[in-house]
Amino acid sequence: MSLTRRDFARTSAIAGAGVALAGSVAALASAPHALATADTESADEGHGEAAGRHGGVGYGPLVADPDGILALPAGFTYRVLTHSGRTRLESGEFTPADHDGTAAFPGPRGSTLLVNNHEMDGPRDEREFPVPLVEGLVYDPAAPGGCTVVEVRPDGGVAEWVGIAGTAQNCAGGTTPWGTWLTCEENSDRAGENGMTKDHGYVFEVDPADRRANRDPKPLKFFGRYDHEAVVIDSKRGHAYLTEDADEPNGLFYRWTPPEGFRYGPGTLRTLADDAGVLQAPKCYDSGGRYVDDLSRATRTGTVYGVDWVDVPDRDARTVAVREQFAAGEVTRARKLEGMWWGDGGAYIVSSYAREESPVRHDGQVWFYDPRRRTLTLKVLLGVDRDPSGDGSFDGPDNITVSPYGGLIIAEDGEGAQHLFGATDSGRTYPIARNELNIGTEEEPEFSEFTGVTFSPDGRTLYANIQEPGIMLAITGPWKRHKRR
């Protein structure tokens, strides 16, 4: 049943108007359970005083790392699991480069299995450490990307092998309720473009626990062909939700409805026809029933939009890109739709930033889509960061996960300093880690983004990646539950 703007205007009840953005740090939360960027602190030797105080939130200031990799709060430690060009796969090749989306699954005999995307596009021969082309696991031999599976054993041993190869620019991805990984191509090159021999822009399923299930990779074309970022599955209602990282015009947030009677499970997605189910894009309305063209219009945390869904005309984009198939006024867009994670009965969705291609500028949003109410609520809003080199504020949220200790953990892909940071249910943010690996020069330092933030199945270890050159890290310490304040 369609949710009309009149229905939403009549039934909507929004608590609190929120506080508008001002300056380089975002607004305080005002709606129930809204998250905001305030009370950040990340001071240590050589980095000056923090811009704010935690007031008991978080784990205290970050301590500089003598090894120059990861600054963490006192009491926390990290371990390098994989390092591109240094560690090796079971087959002998070096770990591939450009780590991105990651998820953790329980493995055999108490181990943890981590599926790790490698975000590489373009001609394969231009990459020093592409994903190796393992027989039977290759989609397009001309493409450099794919996934590896990393097994972390209880005795500390680590093994890594290829899950899928020959895909392009594997980005955030997402888990399934049946224990597999959906890897997303953030690249829609056609066969013949950039040396590719097959069309790209698809989602593929990777089973971390069953290597045989990954043979003969099949693109799940019913999810559409576009610059995919992330995907989550609503196991209760059956929908899949997907994000698109694109502009000119800005990308879209999608919903896929499976065919009637379809039952999810290991391997069942591969049985569906290329045109199975229905792919749709959102059309949003504010509390007054007015159409919203772009999610950047929301400048207050707690903003709630009603969502209707519009069918995609040609999901395989045979002649026109999917996002370009809609005329003005037909759908709601957003810039840099990035990571997504299922939790609290809905999907947390990141819009990393908005600039001149959007109606309103910002340095990051996190939305929550409630499938029961069919609403989007703005949970986190980052103002335009005037000093991205400092530790006093965050910008450019990207990969995201829901913490077993409450709130969210977010990987930063912004300007200047790069952090992992937390956001509590009540609206406070706090630093967890800072990347100290300078891949630039002393005169012009450069720090790669964090990616692949995810907790171990038992919640004791936080895994995250430094994308360049490609380092997977395991972070442990005195985790604590964050109370609502």
The full set of domain ranges for the chain reads: 70-476
121-151 burial: b if 16+ Cβ within 10 Å, else e = bbebeebebbbbbbeebbbbebbbbbbbbbb
14: pLDDT strictly greater than 90: no
Report pLDDT digits (tens) over 423-450: 887 667 899 999 999 999 999 999 999 9
On whether the CB atoms of residues 136 and 113 are closer than 8 A, the answer is no
For strand 253-257 and strand 240-244, is the pairing parallel, antiparallel, or unpaired? antiparallel
92 CB contacts (<8 Å, ≥6 apart)?
none
3-state helix, strand, coil in the chain (%, to 5): 5, 35, 60
As a CATH number, domain 70-476 is 2.120.10.30
3-state secondary structure of 392: coil
**What are 195's two structure tokens?**
């040396």
Report pLDDT digits (tens) over 61-105: 999 999 999 999 999 999 999 999 999 999 999 999 999 999 999
Report pLDDT digits (tens) over 366-407: 999 999 999 999 998 988 866 666 555 788 999 999 999 999
